[in-house]
Amino acid sequence: MFFFPAFTNMLYAQNSTADTTNTATSISNAINAYHQQLFPETNLYNGIEYVDYAYTINEGIPFFATTQFSTGTVEYDNMLYQNVPLLYDEVKEAVVIIDVYGTNKIQLNNENVAGFSLLNHRFVKLVRDSSGKSPIRSGFYDVLYQGNIVVYKKQTKKVLENITMSEGLKRSIGEQNEYFIKKRNTFYVVNNKKDVLSITKDKRTEMQQYIKKNRLNFRRAKELSLIKIASYYDQLTAKQLLLHIP
């Protein structure tokens, strides 16, 4: 694997679009060839057996978006694996794959998972600050927007149990969504418009005007509003940097 840094350096050294595309293709081909030679890759299939309990849930699902395996990518033990059938259990916070024979489900070791992509969403692992000052707790976060500021979503699920005389034990999935913005290596909790304006206070007037003009509603469409606001803030800060270039 020592040749990968060399390819990466070549990628940044190219000046033309064509050369950059060719180099990126070479990197991708080299990675694919490496994985094919190692197939089946024991480094990936070394987790514990995953015990499926979804069939015991009466309402809701414990997984992200779907109960079916979907093709994705996972960065595991410092290696990027592509075209991997994945499930993400949001109750256990577990990344689940299926073995090469398609029979057994495997729960990857979270300590070795740096991130993964699934259903056009990119998840990264964030680790709790040892100082205890950061609002972030260790776990996987959905990256909604990444620029000069980054917007994260943390979706947490848990199994709720309710016993009634008529239905007996009924198990359902409870869900909670949290949002965070990272700016200059500091994480902020985002609950409402006031929080966003506080984080972007250096452009407060422009941000207020943008929110009003575009009728952004945090209660009805928080995710979309945060993505649009983050993108617009990046445009404003980029424009400011260009004005200061001699």
Domain boundaries, the chain: 1-39, 40-189, 191-246
What does the pLDDT read at residue 141? 98
The torsion angles phi and psi of 64, rounded to 5 degrees, stand at: -75, 115
Question: What residues are paired with 76 via a beta bridge?
Answer: 79, 113
Supply 94's token pair.
């577990």
> Does residue 202 sit in helix, strand or coil?
helix
Contact (Cβ atoms closer than 8 angstroms) between residue 82 and residue 31: yes
Q: Are 190 and 135 in contact (CB under 8 A)?
A: no
Q: What is the pLDDT of residue 61?
A: 97
Peptide bond into 40 cis (omega under 30): yes
Write out residues in the chain with pLDDT < 50, as ranges: 1-13, 35, 37-38, 242-246
Amino acid (one-letter) located at 242: L
pLDDT value of residue 165:
83
Note the pLDDT of residue 243: 47
Q: Is 181 within 8 Å of 199 (Cβ atoms)? A: yes
Residue 228, classified by CB atoms within 10 Å of its CB into exposed (0-12), middle (13-18) or buried (19+), is: middle
